[in-house]
Structure 1
Amino acid sequence: MSSTSNPSAGAADEPLGSSLQSNWRPLLAAGVVVALLGLVATLAPFLTGLSIATLVGVLLIVGGVTQAIGAFRATGWRGFVWQIAVGAVTLLAGLAVFLNPVFGLLTLTLLVVGYLLASGVVEVAMGLRLRGERRSLWTVASGVIGIILALLLWAGFPSTALWAVGVMFGVNLLVTGLSMVGIALGARSLSEPVDTGVTPGVGGV
């Protein structure tokens, strides 16, 4: 009785692999563009931070208007007043950030400081709790670095607001773009034929 291989296992993995190998060029181009955007954002952090703050202001304005419209459409709802209040606060915050993006940039920097500090404390606590496990020291080190960055940003505030958000956003884009380029180049190497050194039709059995 001849043995047959299970085609379902290879078929499940084939579409993703073959698609990536045949479309590595668009992924490579997108990765290069994202990496270049990250580099530009890193080199011009203040303008990048202002752009992000302005975008946040626009999103808050849209969110406030949407909440108000939803409240007015829900006639007879007991939470109407609260919904209107939340929408008004969101709208005012969005207008404040949009009309004065430097203020929004200061607020975003404080949020970044709070995030780094909170995540750093959590990582240190988790690493100490899991001491003895593999890579627990890496978790503690990552948490300590986050806490140090938060303290440095806070110590230099508000001057750090001029570059912190833009630099972090740019570095994130740069790393993402480089990872996309790496994946595309890896897919390219898989799609290239392997030279076995055997001439077709010669040496076959």
Structure 2
Amino acid sequence: MSIPTSAFGGQPVRPMRSYWLLFVIEGLVLLVLGALAIVVPPIATLGITIFIGWLLLISGVVGLVMTFAARHAPGFWWSLVSGLLGVAAGLVLLAWPVSGALSLTLVLTAFFIVEGVASIMYALDHRRQLSGRWGWMLFSGIVDLVLAAIIIAGFPGTALWALGTLVGINMIFGGASLIGIGLHARGTT
């Protein structure tokens, strides 16, 4: 009988039961952070905007460094444009996070619209093929369109809470999932 090993280095894999408490702790942290994001969504929205600003700035700078290091490689000018765009977008979000939150909210709204339409079409395609459970996908698409309509109807005021609230909800569901996994792993042998 062989001992299970990790795909990333051949190290022996410990049973999930060994880590159950870590999953529960991480889940609890996510629950608390998610609840805070929902209770104070404007602060969470600004925090998310600033975080994305730093991500874009750092990725742009790294992209520029790599572009100039490989300046004789094909695609130099496209890589240069990409790096400059990352730096510029990051600086804009960091310099004007409130305006950045407005822009990110519009991007989120566009995503909900496209995702909603795609989900509805996907569901209808499955209905024609007589596959089961297509109604859940249809419902998901409708929810996406309703969220987009709510954000558009209240814009620009919704920019204060939309990002923070939605990230908070995501964190709560992620935290609850981790707690569930941890508690289940605790009971396994």
TM-score for both structures, normalised by structure 2: 0.86
**Which residue identity is paired with 2:164?**
G
SS in 2 for 1:133: coil
CA deviation digits over 1:65-101, x for unaligned, max 9? 2222222223445644443333223212211110111
Letter in structure 2 aligned against 1:183 = I
Q: Judging changes above 3 Å, is the alpha-carbon distance between structure 1 residues 158 and 190 closer, same or farther for their aligned structure 2 residues?
A: same
Which residue matches 2:169? 171
- Count of residues paired in the alignment: 181
Identical counterparts, % of pairs? 34
In structure 2, relative to structure 1, the CA distance for the partners of 1:103 and 1:186 (3 Å cut) is same
Greater relative contact order, per chain length (Cα 8 Å cut-off, separation 6+): 2
- Structure 1 counterpart of 2:114, from 115, 118, 127: 118
| CA displacement, residues 99-148 of structure 1 (integer Å, 9 cap, x when unaligned) | 11111111111111111111110111111111132111111111111111
Closer, same or farther in 2 for the Cα pair 1:89/1:21, shift >3 Å?
A: closer
Moved more, 57-66 or 75-84: 75-84
Of 154, 157, 172 in structure 1, the residue corresponding to residue 155 of structure 2 is 157
Q: Which amino acid aligns with 2:38?
A: T
Pick the aligned partner of 1:25 from 21, 36, 43: 21
Q: 1:69 aligns with which of 65, 71, 82?
A: 65
Asked if 1:181 is matched to 2:151, the reply is no
AA at the equivalent of 2:100: G
Query: For residues 131 and 75 of structure 2, what CA distance do their matches in structure 1 show?
Result: 50
What RMSD over aligned residues (CA atoms) do the two structures have, in Å?
2.2
Partner of 1:190, secondary structure, is coil
Give the AA of the match of 2:96. N
- Structure 1 runs of 4+ aligned residues shifted over 6 Å read none
Change (3 A) 1:190 1:111: same
Structure 1 letter corresponding to 2:91: L
Please identify the structure whose Cα radius of gyration is greater. 1
5 Å matches for 1:46-61? 46-61=42-57
Q: Which runs of 5+ in 1 are unaligned?
A: 1-6, 192-205
Alpha carbons of 1:72 and 1:177: their partners in 2 closer, same or farther (altered >3 Å)? same
1:79 to 1:28, Cα distance in 2 relative to 1, 3 A = closer
The TM-score, its normalising length taken from structure 1, stands at 0.80
User: Alignment partner of 1:23: what SS?
Assistant: helix
Change (3 A) 1:99 1:183: same
